């Protein structure tokens, strides 16, 4: 079977963490979000990422409403199985719930949201995922926030199927280790970038004197005074490139990541932001633009993040309790 990412997936997708989730601040109206999503799909952003965890299924349900009446084959839907549900015994029931909320018969990409606890039999989990792929309920298998070792274990557990993607935090400033990136390039595992705009830090809309609302971003260390001072040269460079390319800093950042072969999935608040993302999908930076940004990044430095997400020594019920507050 061909890889999902050879089947006409848009250069940039849409992330829907904010659909139904608390903690992002005000201005996230459901009808506005679903209409914005429809506008994005109609303008070529055909990769839509969600998860059963987002709003306890609300995000999936709103996507289902947004795609009503659209041709299913024109949309690539990716959803995620929460790590605390990632067992061979639970996976089909959880997938069935996602399919029902989305109003579809299959998902194009089914991802394990984070590495399950060490008390989970990962080999059995991935064998069950392969069985569900053979059944046609899943077209492709992916993971999210996985380490190199866990990806290798997942692939070794399956006979013919292959993990095709790893969704990890990736943006101009925050990136996983070079070891993980080299491994994924070698194995042809697509990087799907969550937080590609660093939760808005790279948009130029915020500064040390203008901080974002919502506890999700207030808790992010990037929005500290020290970070704004450290990365001011990069923010200035993005504005400079944007000005000469008749674009916005957000569009430049997203196009840069796409240039690197990464699939960014930015979130959005309204139709105007989706239209800006559509513009980013048609913006092609020159080699000089990229080298200019790279030179500035070398001076500012990048933050290396862990490919994993959840401490695997903790039992699943701890993650379940934590999910009640997001």
191 - beta bridge partners?
Answer: 166
**84-87: long-range pairs with CB below 8 Å, 24+:** 84/116, 84/117, 84/316, 84/317, 84/319, 84/320, 84/323, 85/52, 86/112, 86/113, 86/116, 86/120, 86/125, 87/116, 87/120, 87/121, 87/124, 87/125
Say how far apart CA 198 and CA 134 lie, in whole Å.
37
Greatest alpha-carbon span in the chain? 55
Give yes or no: 310 in active site. no
Residues 6+ apart with CB under 8 A from 90: none
Q: Which of 28, 54, 231, 256 is catalytic?
A: 54
Q: Which residues are catalytic?
A: 54
């Amino acid at each position: 079977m061909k890889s999902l990412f050879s089947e006409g997936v848009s250069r940039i997708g849409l992330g829907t963490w904010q659909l139904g989730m608390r903690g992002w601040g005000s201005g996230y109206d459901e009808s506005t979000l679903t209409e914005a999503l429809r506008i994005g799909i109609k303008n070529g952003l055909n990769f839509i990422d969600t998860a059963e965890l987002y709003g306890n299924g609300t995000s999936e349900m709103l996507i289902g409403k947004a795609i009503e009446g659209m041709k299913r084959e024109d949309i690539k839907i990716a959803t995620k199985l929460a790590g605390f549900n990632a067992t061979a015994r639970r996976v089909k029931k959880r997938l069935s719930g996602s399919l029902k909320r989305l109003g579809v018969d299959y998902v194009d990409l089914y991802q394990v949201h984070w590495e399950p606890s060490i008390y989970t039999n990962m080999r059995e989990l991935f064998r069950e995922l392969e069985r569900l792929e053979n059944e046609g309920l899943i077209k492709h298998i992916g993971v999210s926030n996985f380490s190199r070792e866990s990806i290798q274990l997942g692939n070794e557990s399956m006979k013919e199927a292959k993990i095709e993607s790893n969704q990890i935090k990736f943006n101009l400033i925050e990136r996983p280790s070079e070891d993980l990136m080299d491994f994924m390039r070698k194995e042809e595992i697509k990087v799907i970038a969550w937080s590609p705009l660093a939760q808005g830090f790279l948009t130029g809309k915020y500064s040390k004197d203008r901080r974002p609302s919502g506890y999700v971003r207030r808790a992010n260390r990037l929005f500290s005074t020290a970070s704004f001072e450290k990365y001011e040269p990069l923010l200035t460079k993005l504005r400079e490139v944007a000005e000469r390319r008749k674009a916005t800093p957000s569009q430049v950042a997203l196009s840069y990541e796409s240039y690197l072969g990464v699939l960014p999935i930015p979130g959005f608040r309204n139709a105007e932001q989706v239209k800006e993302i559509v513009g980013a999908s048609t913006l092609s930076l020159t080699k000089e633009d990229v080298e200019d940004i790279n030179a500035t990044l070398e001076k500012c430095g990048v933050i290396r993040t862990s490919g994993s997400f959840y401490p695997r020594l903790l039992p699943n019920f701890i993650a379940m309790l934590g999910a009640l507050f997001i």
